[in-house]
Structure 1
Amino acid sequence: MRQELMSLPKGLAEEVARNLVMVANLLDEDPEQAYAYSRIALRLASRVAAVREAAGFASYATAKYSEALAEFRAARRMTGSVELWPVMADCERGMGRPERALAMAGEPEVNKLDKAGQVEMRLVAAGARKDMGQAEAAVVTLQSPELASSSVQPWTARLRYAYADALLEVGRESEAREWFAKALEADQGGQTDASDRLAELDGVEFTDALEDSDADEASEASEASEVSEAPESAEKAVEESAEESAEEAEESGDVAEAPKADGDKS
């Protein structure tokens, strides 16, 4: 990427680089903000392949699949590389065209991908099968030497998780549980929610201890408030009762005369 930016004037290259760094830093945490930075970089250097690729991933992360596909195609034309082929196919899925994604999975470009790219293409193809209501075919699509391998690679957890999910969709629950467990075993970076899916299958419910503590404190505060208000309420009730008694006595003519002061002859 640095070498590509060297084709730009120094000041411009530095500004574009800063925006690309922000795209990379924010892509997972704040994709909308990452997208905004990518548009700045794109406006400054649209003829740089790395910029088009970064803009594509930012659009992809914000579900702007049509924009993402256009940027990925532009980057591919500039570089001639096929490494973006799987994500381009997934954009087709995102645009509601799973049949196109499936067709891309059978193109010669797939054979030029490295192992990681081929696994990614298999995941996209299985997803397209599910989109088309072909759940059993999705299971078969994911069955591969990479899935059967006991070695753990960067893609292993996601591949096992996708297979478990496909098995669950066709009603093979016990096998699905086994593969969710295998996915969890390989998931060192927390890429999946395999642990939650396992717990769900086992009927385990988690309670948030912090929420329970907050609820207990709120309950205690409410009780304390009720207790503090009780004396005031009782006093008010006594006053109201006394006033009512006085009014009743006045109406019946039983109000006693006030005692006369000493020396009052009248």
Structure 2
Amino acid sequence: MAVKRFTKMEVKTADDLVFGDAKYPVSYGLGMKAGAGFVVPEINFAPRPGAEKNPDTLRREYVDYITKDIMDRAVTLGFPAVQLENEWIFQLGNDPEKFAKPVVAGQKELMKKYHDEYGIMTAIRHTLPDMREAERGLREGMDKKSSYPEKVIESIEVAAKNGADVLSIEPMGGKEMSDYGILHQDIRGWLFGIGYLGSMDMEYTWTKIVDIAKKNKVIAGGDTNCAGANTSMFMAGGYLDKDIPRTFAAVTRCIASARTLVAIECGATGPDKDCGY
């Protein structure tokens, strides 16, 4: 598909940047609207250790405990809308058909019951795990040992076909260079890793995600370089931490924004990921 390059700002003034308001609002999921004049909470979660031992226990954890608890609390508090985000753990991405499919379908089925009964607007974002390793190859046909590139594509398809409303991912392209840049406080190395190599991998990855999303009539959300800039910000920490300067970490986050834009250029519409603070 054609990639649209942005060469100017979409808004004329910073005053147009308001939480809950978007120039191009998006409708999706079960009555959900993003950017339509109000802020929607997005709840992230993770299963408890041990729940991943088999598909049944993992489904029970995600659907019967986590999703039910969130929807119960949202309805109890009178929320008009709530969005869930399932950031996949390794087991879901390593065998999507066996582990992830029951979880994705089960979560959506339960959310629909709450939407039908209580009228709450709701949707779920599935953020797929990028397990690719640079030394084995980031593209299909290169990783002969684990087939991680193929598993990433399979994960996207399983999510899109079985209940995801929004698709996201945090591609690993360029991270082998950016991690070095963080440890050595080499901002040029980080710029090359995330700004250049990372952007190349973003275009490769997000054209595939957008194509799969369109075929399945779901939303291609976006990506905010959690694997890169968040690593830098985490290491910078607070005022008592001295691993790397906070100024360095702030600059890496700014650089990451250019990489994030690539997903939009490839056709992603948002809502974007929460890591772009």
Give TM-score, length-normalised by structure 2: 0.24
Higher helix share: 1
Name the structure, 1 or 2, with higher relative contact order (CA <8 Å, separation 6+).
2
Give TM-score, length-normalised by structure 1: 0.25
Instruction: Say which one has the larger Rg.
Output: 1
